[in-house]
Amino acid sequence: MLYALIRVVVAIMFAAFRVLYGARVEGLENLPAEGPFILSSNEIGKLGNMLISFVVAQQVLGGHMPRPIGFLDEYSLETQYGALFREVGTLPLFPHGQGMGVPALLKALQFLRQGKVLAFNPEAAISIDGRLVSLTRGVSWLGLRSGAPIVLMVATKGAYDAWPVWAARPQMSGSFQLRIGKPLYLNDGPCPQVSDEVLDRANERLADEMMSLIYQ
């Protein structure tokens, strides 16, 4: 019953996004049918976050993405769209409040080595001005150490204009898209060791790819 209800809710939300914001999804063909890969998104606005969540749910429920999807932080599972996330088969890998240090990254690395999908936002926080927030190193480190590709799923700049984080309610008009990039490999294979220099270069490349998708 819940499964069917979620499918209906997702379909209704997509229709509303299309009518109000002309929203469409570009690059669905870039989503791998199986893992391992790292699904990374941006946090450019509240509506962008919602659309990303609904797209992931739609793809998993439709059998186009494998489950479970590992999350490094269960906070979002408990506070935003909790039933939606639980139904599509998410697996929090590290409880909220225990930090995002070495134990979390090592557990995520093991998850990827098992051929699974990991969802990990490289931004440290939601954007307050519509610009890309400085990226943490975690996604790049996992991409280098595991050899798994990074698939970027980002909302374009208009998502911020439609509902910035500081606003109480969204605008009822606007325009934004959701873009999914081609799988990004940071190296030819798994790196047994990653230096700070290599990690910085990988992070710059990841930021450039995100910027090109958000602002193109």
Average pLDDT over residues 133-139: 90
Q: Tell me, what's the pLDDT at 97?
A: 44
Q: Tell me, what's the pLDDT at 25?
A: 95
Residue 120: both structure tokens together: 């990990």
Q: Is the pTM of this model over 0.85?
A: yes
Across 77-86, 123-132, 134-143, 156-165, least confident range: 77-86
Q: How far is CA 58 from CA 11, 138, 174, 214, in A?
A: 8, 27, 23, 22
CB contact set of 30 (below 8 Å; sequence gap of 6+):
151, 180, 181, 182, 183
Buried b or exposed e, range 117-132, using 16+ CB within 10 angstroms: bbbbbbbeebbeebeb
Q: Per-residue pLDDT for 24 more than 90?
A: yes
- pLDDT band for 79, please (50, 70, 90 cuts): very low
Q: What span, in angstroms and rounded, lies between the C-alpha atoms of 208 and 200?
A: 12
- pLDDT band for 44, please (50, 70, 90 cuts): confident
Q: Tell me, what's the pLDDT at 35?
A: 93
Regarding predicted confidence, which is higher, 208 or 81? Answer: 208
Q: For the chain, what percent of residues have pLDDT higher than 90?
A: 52
Q: Per-residue pLDDT for 121 more than 90?
A: no
Q: Tell me, what's the pLDDT at 1?
A: 54
150-155 vs 178-180, strand pairing mode: antiparallel
Average pLDDT over residues 116-143: 88
Which domains does the chain show, CATH number per domain?
A: 2-215 (3.40.1130.10)
Residue 113: both structure tokens together: 């080595």
Average pLDDT over residues 83-91: 57
Q: Tell me, what's the pLDDT at 98?
A: 47
